[in-house]
Amino acid sequence: MSAEGWVRNPRYAEHAGCPRCRVPLVMMPVPVRYVAPRRVAADDEEVVESVSDGFKASERVRGWRHTATMRCPACGALFSPAQARRFDWKPSDLPADWMVRPLPAQPEDGAEAFAALRRSLEESSARRRGGDGGARLGPANAVPTDGSQRRLPIGAE
């Protein structure tokens, strides 16, 4: 964590970049997995199928399972950690949301923030309902304060 209280955004892979575009890769929340007939990257897993004819059992290779966990935000290409190229980024090369403020770690910090948000919402709704609220909303949107809103429409009595 830096001195100002900012941390690296976990959305981005730290030193991984797109080999074509040279931009930081975005981590995908759900990895993309597919089986290819040939190896796509060095970290692919071999998919083996058991074949049996009743007398003799054998195994044969069906393909290679590739798991892409990162995506390039510029060109949209999918990458596994073995395919991504390592970059040491200059601050001018980083996206604007590379550093973010961390979420409150303690539950009481979150409760205090929620209480402050609730207070501000209650104050704003009280201001809207207040005496000058009608003037601020305009005559077309003003809420009537007399008992006219309690009366039923004609024919509903």
Q: Is the pLDDT of residue 156 over 60?
A: no
**Type and span of the H or E element at 138:** none
Q: Across all residues in the chain, what is the average pLDDT?
A: 79
pLDDT at residue 114 in the model: 79
With H, G, I as helix, E, B as strand and everything else as coil, classify residue 91: helix
Residues 46-84: tens digit of each pLDDT:
998 888 887 888 888 889 999 999 999 999 999 999 999
Question: Tokens for 32?
Answer: 């993309």
Using the predicted structure, report yes or no on whether residue 116 has a pLDDT greater than 60: yes
Give the per-residue pLDDT at 57.
80
Report the predicted TM-score, pTM, of the whole model to 2 decimal places: 0.56
Measured from the Cβ of residue 25, the count of other Cβ atoms closer than 10 Å reads 28
User: What is the structure's pLDDT at 131?
Assistant: 52
Q: Where are the domains of the chain?
A: 7-89, 107-141
